[in-house]
Structure 1
């Protein structure tokens, strides 16, 4: 009923599995940046608490900067790992990454997937790069 009345629910036909995380993240980012056309995009894990008042305050401050003609087209806010993490190669792990999916010995530094915030333009740039970057199933934060 919510989706029908308000058109604000994204329903996708994907198997509910950890390996689907990358595709779910990309579809949400596509929807927010291309269909919904929101000024900003927030992605957060469902088990992470967000201080909505601080987030609203941040959005207001960013909007003031936009109104002042400050370029936020590359805005991406989140926690970037300070080390290059090693992929988990244990097949029994939920976070297992095969050499076929990622053949490097260490991941590049990445913005942690527990939560990040970006401008619509940044989300669009990420979506535009998808055909050129091999997906890593289930490790969406590293891929993004």
Structure 2
């Protein structure tokens, strides 16, 4: 499952650089993480994203190569890096590789990367059962290339994220960043699904225990950026499971950090939320949106959010 790392392709700010790995030239953080068997070399990287200063929030978005429309929708809406004046955010799409891609598909991805500088691609196969690999590699990138960030949010490409609400109401950039903080849609009594027809089936061989640890849904969770390196460091001693959110919960338990429910009123929704102008201006996540839905609902919310009075609007409902 974890092949040897063979090469290191990096996309710079102005050109594509292809070179063989040179371990002696890597800094200590990269060297340390690349000794782990499931931290892969980059085929596309943005190592200088934080050179102009550490961001307040990093958005780590899992995606696949073919989801170009979704990436573009996110760039135009909740993933804008200049969304809030004075609050530095950073957007990164996490991708693996597929040996069936054509040369034209790979060329298109390289061109997209050179245009937007927000794609991180590594040498693992991009499959659902490699989602834990994808997220761990993203956390390794944070720890290696942007350790001074305040917070990270991991989410998916079919999500609507209330970035402004998240930053102003939950993370609060005018206050000192919290340490060892982890929150999202909290699963308190999660249990492995033994039904083989389920997408989330977990065999007794993979996970023999009857209960999962505390964990937050992988649709969107937020955490202190300093936890990224701690999770990567402890990961070799944690039983590997393909459900990324459960695996991160296992790592947090190992390092003694307990995920917490978000404050009342900051909604992390694991299902799609029925759109209302004021409702969407006061949620963190809504799940299962198409690129067109993301753009249209974002634009409508921007037009009408300033007319909302929080005490008068009811919470949105899920469907």
Structure 2-normalised TM-score? Answer: 0.39
Picking from 174, 180, 184, the partner of 1:74 is 180
Distance 1:52 1:75 in 2: 18
User: Pairwise CA RMSD of aligned residues?
Assistant: 2.2
- The answer on whether the counterparts of 1:33 and 1:41 sit within 8 Å (CA) in structure 2 is no
CA contact (8 A) 1:18 1:94 kept: no
Could you say what secondary structure the match of 1:99 adopts?
coil
Contact 1:29 1:41 in 2 (8 A): no
Q: Would you say how many aligned residue pairs link Structure 1 and Structure 2?
A: 137
Deviation of residue 64 (structure 1)?
Answer: 2.6
Structure 1 gaps, min length 5: none
Question: What's the offset of the Cα at 1:28?
Answer: 1.1
Paired with 2:165 and 2:114, the residues of 1 have a C-alpha distance of 31
Which has a greater percent of strand? Answer: 2
Tell me if 1:142 matches 2:253.
Answer: no
> Normalised by the size of structure 1, how large is the TM-score?
0.81
Cα displacement string for residues 86-120 of structure 1 (whole angstroms, at most 9, x for unaligned residues): 21223333212122221101212211111111111
SS of the equivalent of 1:44 reads: strand
Give the gaps of 5 or more residues in structure 2. Answer: 1-110, 249-319
C-alpha change, 1:7 and 1:15, in structure 2 (3 Å) is same
The residue that corresponds to 2:200 in the other structure is: 95
Q: Are 1:115 and 2:225 an aligned pair?
A: no
Structural mapping, 1:124-139, within 5 Å = 124-137=229-242, 139=243
Distance 1:117 1:54 in 2: 13
Give secondary structure in 2 for the equivalent of 1:77.
strand
Task: Identify, as 1 or 2, the structure richer in helix.
Answer: 1
Does residue 36 of the first structure (1) align with residue 146 of the second (2)?
yes
User: Residues 22 and 136 of structure 1 are in contact (CA less than 8 Å); yes or no, is this contact kept in structure 2?
Assistant: yes
Matched, 1:23 2:133: yes
The offset of 1:9, in angstroms, is 1.7
**C-alpha distance in structure 2 between counterparts of 1:141 and 1:11, whole Å:** 20
Based on CA coordinates, which of the two structures has the bigger radius of gyration? 2
Shift of 1:45: 2.3
